[in-house]
């Protein structure tokens, strides 16, 4: 089962992706996490991506397409995968089609802009594994510490309110056209993001099974 999750920054894609991943035993492929890892390790890719990411802009398509092509060829993706944060532009979606990758479901998790900025202020991510938490909606067992690996939970630089506004603008302009793209392929379902994570998960699983 090959799934794409769409949604504005902070809509809950990462959280739902991790839950679907453990239900269906398929990996999450998060381009944001891969890029943050590259930035942390100071690789050439990371050096190239950092300024775009810090500004809330998209990293150029060519960089992402090469990165994702390599990742999807790895053996853990052979029974399926969940794409979180890719594709983000129509050219990226076309590149995926041209690679011969078959997509079964595209889910948009929809959350209105007004609620996004408020959600982002409480978001924390694990420095080590990238798992996401929320101080109110998804607190870790121990404050500031990742449940999975004990990594330190930090705020993302690009979660600052001004950068969130830029990222929302980028989402509406460059990523939302993908809804039409996948609706035409009859693959799109829209899930309304709920206050409680379990309620969103319920709707998400329903959409995947429907
Ligand atoms: P995310 O963790 O998905 O919010 O991604 C964080 C940042 O990484 C984005 O704001 C972009 O700068 C960059 N990024 C992640 N995925 C992509 C993509 N598919 N295309 C371009 N830039 C991306
Ligand atoms: Zn962790």
Q: Which residues surround ligand 2, an ion (CB under 5 A)?
A: 126, 128-129, 131, 146, 148-149, 151
Give me the pLDDT at residue 89, please: 98
- Token pair listed for 161: 């309110």
Q: What is the DSSP string of 74-130?
A: SGGGTT-EEEES---SHHHHHHHHHTT----EEEEEE--HHHHHHHHHTEEEETTT-
pLDDT in tens, 104-144: 999 999 999 989 988 898 999 999 998 889 999 899 999 99
- For residue 55, the ligand 1 atom closest to its alpha carbon is 12
Is 115 marked active-site?
Answer: no
Q: For residue 129, which ligand has an atom nearest its CA? A: 2
Is 123 marked active-site?
Answer: yes
Is 88 marked active-site?
Answer: yes
Spatial distance between the Cα atoms of 210 and 199, rounded to a whole number of angstroms: 17
Q: Is 71 in the pocket of ligand 1 (CB under 6 A)?
A: no
Give me the pLDDT at residue 62, please: 93
- Looking at every residue in the chain, the average pLDDT score rounds to 95
pTM check: above 0.85: yes
Q: Is 45 in the pocket of ligand 1 (CB under 6 A)?
A: no
């Amino acid at each position: 089962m090959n799934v794409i999750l769409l949604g504005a920054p902070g809509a809950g894609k990462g959280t739902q992706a991790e839950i679907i991943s453990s239900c269906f035993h398929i990996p999450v492929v998060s381009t944001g996490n891969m890029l943050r890892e590259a930035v942390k390790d100071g690789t050439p890719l990371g050096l190239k991506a950092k300024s775009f990411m810090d500004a809330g802009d998209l990293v150029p398509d060519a960089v992402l397409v090469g990165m994702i092509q390599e990742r999807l060829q790895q053996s853990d993706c052979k029974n399926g995968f969940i794409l979180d944060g890719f594709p983000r532009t129509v050219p990226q979606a076309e590149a995926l089609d041209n690679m011969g990758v078959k997509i079964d479901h595209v889910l948009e998790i929809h959350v209105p802009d007004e609620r996004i900025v408020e959600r982002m202020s409480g978001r924390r991510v694990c420095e080590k594994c990238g798992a996401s938490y929320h101080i109110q909606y998804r607190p870790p067992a121990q404050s500031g510490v990742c449940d999975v690996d004990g990594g330190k939970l930090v705020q993302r630089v690009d979660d600052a309110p001004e950068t969130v506004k830029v990222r929302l603008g980028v989402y509406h302009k460059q990523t939302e056209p993908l809804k039409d793209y996948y609706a035409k392929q009859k693959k799109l379902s829209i899930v309304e993001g709920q206050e409680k994570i379990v309620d969103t998960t319920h709707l998400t699983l329903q959409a995947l099974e429907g």
